[in-house]
Amino acid sequence: MTIHKPRLLTGDTPTGRLHLGHWVGSLENRLALQDQYDCYFLLANIHAFTTRAERPADIRQSILDVAMDWLAIGLDPMRSTLFIQSEVPAISELTFLFSMLVSYPRLMRVPTLKDEIRDKGLGDNYSFGFLLYPIGQVADILAFQADIVPVGEDQSPILELTREVARRFNQLYCGVDSQTEDKAYVAQGGLFPIVQTLHGRTRRLVGTGAPNANGVLLKMSKSLDNAIMLSDDPDTVAKKVMSMYTDPKRLKASDPGTVENNPLWIFHETFNPDKAWVAEMKTRYRAGTIGDVACKKQLIEVLVNFIEPIRQRRLVFEKDPAQVWQILRDGSAKARAVSDQTLQLAKQKMQQNFL
C-alpha cells in the first residue's frame, strides 16, 4: 500500500541569492519538513520578469544561484522536487483560469502588492504582469494541490487569496457547499485543499538598512540591497555588519542605547545561540556600558559561524553547475507531470475537457 504524504509547496523568486530572511522565514521549515511532506520547491522565474523583464540573463543566473543555495542548505533532490516555474506550463494556464475568479478590486487590495510597489519604488510604472503575479502564485500552489506553504509574513495575504480561489473553484465547479469547513473541502468532492500557511520563527526579518520615511525598518530583501546572504564570505559579512544601521542617537559607547527596533539586537536575538550573553549585553547597551563595535564584532562571529558551513557546501556545487541544471531538469519533469494532471482534472470540473 502506498501512503500518500501531504503536499508542501513553496519557492523563491530568482532575483538574487538567498539571505538570512529566507532562512528564518521559510528555509528552516522546509528542511524540517522534507521527510513528513511530499515537497515541491519552485524557482519563480516568471515572477522575476514582473519587475525585471529587461534583465533575462540576470534571471537565468539567479536560477542557478538560488538552486545552489538550496542544495547548500540541504534541500535534497532525492527527497524533494526542485523545479523551474516556466518549465511547468500548467501553472500559466491555471493562472489564466483562476484570474477569472478574482475581482480586480479584490486583487488591488492585496497588501503584498501595495507594499512591493512602495518598497521597490515601482510608482505607477509597474507592468500589467506585475499585478497578475499574486494569481500566478495561487496557481503555483493549487497546481500541486498543496496542503501547506511555509512562507514569510509578506506572503500571508497571497495565501489568503489562494484559499479564496480554492473555495470558489470547489464551490462553483465541484459542487461543494459554501458552508463547508476548510478542512472538509476535499472530502466533500473539492479538487483543491484549502491550504495552510506555515510561518517561520521570525515572520519578517528586517534588513541592515535605515528605516523608511514612516520609521519602519524594511524587510530584508534581495532587491533592496539590505541583505546578508547565505553565500557571503566572512569579509563581506564583517563589512555588512560593521556598516549596518543601529541606534542613530548613540554617538559614543557611553551614550545610553535603544535596543528596540535596532537591527543589531534583532540579529543577535535571532541568530545568537548564547541567550545569556544577549540578555546581559542588551542591559549594558541600554546603560551605555558597551559600545556598538563590540556588539557588532560578536555578531560577525555568530553569523560567520552560521553561514560559513553553508558557503563551503555551496562551493562544491559551484564547481559543477551541470549537475545543478540536471537536478532542475529532473525536478521540472516531475513537476510537469503532477501539475498536468491537476490541470486536466480542473478542466474536467469546468466542463472544458474535449480531447
Name the closest residue to ligand ATP (Cβ): 25
In the complex, least distance from residue 254 CB atom to ligand ATP, rounded to whole angstroms: 33
Q: Locate the DSSP E strands across 125-186.
A: 148-150
| Cβ atoms of residues 94 and 144 within 8 Å | no
Which chain residues interact with ligand ATP by CB under 6 A? Answer: 12-13, 15, 21-22, 24-26, 151-152, 154-155, 204-205, 219-223
Q: Quick one: 141 or 259, whose CB is closer to ligand ATP?
A: 141
Q: Is 273 exposed, middle or buried (0-12, 13-18, 19+ CB in 10 A)?
A: exposed
In the complex, least distance from residue 344 CB atom to ligand ATP, rounded to whole angstroms: 29
Q: Is 120 exposed, middle or buried (0-12, 13-18, 19+ CB in 10 A)?
A: middle
In the complex, least distance from residue 32 CB atom to ligand ATP, rounded to whole angstroms: 15
In the complex, least distance from residue 307 CB atom to ligand ATP, rounded to whole angstroms: 16
In the complex, least distance from residue 176 CB atom to ligand ATP, rounded to whole angstroms: 28
Q: Quick one: 38 or 154, whose CB is closer to ligand ATP?
A: 154
User: CA 27 → CA 11, 100, 110, 301, distances in Å?
Assistant: 9, 32, 24, 22
Please report, in angstroms and rounded to a whole number, the separation of the first and last CA atoms in the chain. Answer: 32
- With vertex at residue 200, the alpha carbon angle to CA 68 and CA 63, rounded to the nearest 5 degrees, is 20
Q: Quick one: 167 or 219, whose CB is closer to ligand ATP?
A: 219
- Greatest Cα pair distance, the chain, in angstroms, is 77
Q: Quick one: 155 or 342, whose CB is closer to ligand ATP?
A: 155
Q: Quick one: 97 or 220, whose CB is closer to ligand ATP?
A: 220
Q: Quick one: 208 or 272, whose CB is closer to ligand ATP?
A: 208
In the complex, least distance from residue 51 CB atom to ligand ATP, rounded to whole angstroms: 7
Residue 41 pairs with which residues in a beta bridge?
10, 82
